Amino acid sequence: SSGINAEYGAARLAGKPLWQLVVDTAPAKLVAMVDWSYLGDVVTEEQAVKMLNVGEEEKQRRIRKLKDEGYPAYITSVGWLGYPDEKVRALTEEKLSEGWTAFKMKVGVNRESDERRAGLMRSLIGPDNNLMMDANQIWDVPTTISRMVPGLTKYNPLWIEEPTSPDDILGHKAISEALAPHGVGVATGEMCQNRVMFKQFLQSGAMQFCQIDSCRVAGVTELLAIMVLARRFGVPVVPHAGGVGLCELVRHYSMIDYIMVSGEMEGRWCEFADHLHEHFTDPAVTKTGRYLLPSLPGFSTQLKEESARFYSYPAGTCWSNDKDAVM
C-alpha cells in the first residue's frame, strides 16, 4: 500500500488526475500493490487481474463516454432533516430544473414527519425519478422494518441507507430480506472500516448498494479491492460523499470503477452535496445531474491558500475574536 500511495502522492508530478493514474497502470501491477489477505475465499489475485484487464480500445471508449456525458450523480442537499418543507420544495424544484433525476432525503425523526416529507419529495420529483432515503444509523432492526413496511416503502425509494448500526452485518441482512419483496434495497458502507467487513456484507447479501468512502479505509489500494469484491458479487458501487472535500475525492473512484472495474453506469450514482466546493482549487463540478471528469493533476484535495489561512487553527482569522470576520 505504501508503494502505490507514494505513487499517487506524486500524481501531480506525473501530470495526471488520480483516476487516470490508476487506469493507466497495468492490472497486474495494480493487483500486486493490493493486500488481498482474507479475501481468497471469494476472489483470487488471478481473478482480480482478469476483472481489471480491460482492453485499451474499450478503456478509451469508456473515457470518451465520461468526457461526453459525465458520471451519474444523486443530490443530497435538498432533503436535510432540518429543512422546512418550503425549503425542500424550493431546492428540489431548482435541481429538477437543472436536470437532476436522483434525490436523497433524510429520515428518522418520527413516522409522521418521515412519511409527510417522503410524500412531498415523491410528489415533486414524480414517479420516474429516483428517491433515496438515509436513516444515519438511527433505528434497530425491528424498528427499521416497521418504519419501512408498509410506511416508507409506499413512496418507492430505491434504497434505505444505513438503517441501523453500520457494524451489524446480520442486521442489515435481515432488513434486506424484509425489504426485498417491496423492491427496496439497503445501502451501506460509508462507516465500514475494512475490506473484510465489506466481504461479509457482500457475501451474505446484506447490502444491495456498496457505499465506499474515500477516507474510511486504507486508501486507494483497499478501495480497489472493495470495488473488485463488489463486482464479484454483482453489487453496484455508489460512493458516499457530502462532507468537506469528499465529493472532490470520490468522483475519482466512480470514474475508476466505470473505466476499469465494472464498466457500468446504469443503476449507479455518486453522491453530491452542493456546498463548500468553493474552497478547493479543483472543485467537483456537475452538469445536468452528472459529475464531470476531473482533468487537473492530483487527487483534487488542494485547498485554496486563502481558505487554508482563514480556517487554520488557532491562527486563522476564523478563530479570532472578530465576530464579523469573513473570508
Cell numbers for 233, please give them: 458479487
- 240 belongs to the catalytic site: yes
173 as an active site residue: the answer is no
- Location of C-alpha cell 488471478: 46
DSSP 266: T
Residue 200: is it exposed, middle or buried by C-beta count within 10 angstroms (0-12/13-18/19+)? middle
Using DSSP bridges, classify how beta strands 102-106 and 185-188 pair: parallel, antiparallel or unpaired: unpaired
Considering the candidates 16, 95, 104, 106, report the single residue annotated as catalytic: 106
3-class DSSP state of 213 = coil
Residue-by-residue DSSP string for 7-69: HHHTHHHHT-BHHHHHHTS-HHHHHHHS--TT-TTT--HHHHHHHH---HHHHHHHHHHHHHH
C-alpha cell at 217: 479505509
The length of the chain is 327
Residue 3, number of CB atoms within 10 A of its CB: 11
b/e map 36-66, b = 16+ CB within 10 Å: beebeeebeeeebbebbebeeeeeeebbeeb
* Cβ contact 178:152 at 8 Å: no
C-alpha–C-alpha distance, residues 162 and 141, integer Å: 11
CA-CA distance, 38 to 253, in Å (whole number)?
Answer: 23
Q: Which residues are catalytic, by number?
A: 106, 240
